[in-house]
Amino acid sequence: MMNGGSGASGMSSIMVGMTGQVGTPLAIQTAVQDAKVTPSYAVVSSKNDSIVFESKNVSIVVLAMGVDRAANLTGSTPPAYAANDAFVIDGLIDPTLVLQKGSTVHITFVNLDSSAYHDVIITSTGPPYQYMPMSAMGGLMSMMPFVQHADYQQEQAYEYSYNASFNSAGTFWYLCMYPGHAQMGMYGYILVQ
């Protein structure tokens, strides 16, 4: 477990429990289908690129991929800051996640990129990010291993899961720690209220 730093509204913390194995394989089609299932407690708004979770027990599937693949998968335009890679959650590209204080989020991360390693971590440090983002982060709150890229010839992707508990209100960010990815816009905003 890791405890973390400060958010915009004062001292904030999350607790993270790592539960996965590095690179657990699954079918690409299964990952895409799982990502299209929006839970009944989530309100997805493509108009303002946000997801509001009305439960304190949240499960999300986070897909990582290039922005072109994300645009094709979702039928939407990536945010202007997403230059190369992006996350897709509930059919939105790099959406804002709105959580309730005291929420526990089960994150299933799947790398659908065809050539790059990715991860998704949570921090209280917002953009802009450096090429090596960890070197400038005082508010690093979660870590996970990099997950290898998908094998489209074998139709197999790789996943990793962990839980994050948001114990206080604050401002957080999710991003990819692979060198250069967050710097080129692979990140999104989390608001805990």
pLDDT tens string 38-78: 999 999 999 999 999 999 999 999 999 999 999 999 999 99
Q: Which two tokens stand for residue 175?
A: 């991003």
- pLDDT confidence bin for 9, thresholds 50/70/90: very low
Domain 2-192 has CATH 3.40.50.880: no
Rounded CA separation 50/58 (Å) = 15
The residue ranges of every structural domain in the chain are 2-192
- pLDDT confidence bin for 154, thresholds 50/70/90: very high
Sign for the CA dihedral angle at 85, 94, 151, 19 comes to: positive
Sign for the CA dihedral angle at 120, 190, 126, 81 comes to: positive
pLDDT tens string 99-149: 999 999 999 999 999 999 999 999 989 999 999 887 667 666 667 889 999
Output the CA–CA distances (angstroms, integers) from residue 184 to 53, 60, 80, 96, 168, in the order listed.
Answer: 27, 23, 10, 18, 29
Q: Report the pLDDT value the prediction gives residue 192, as an integer from 0 to 100.
A: 97
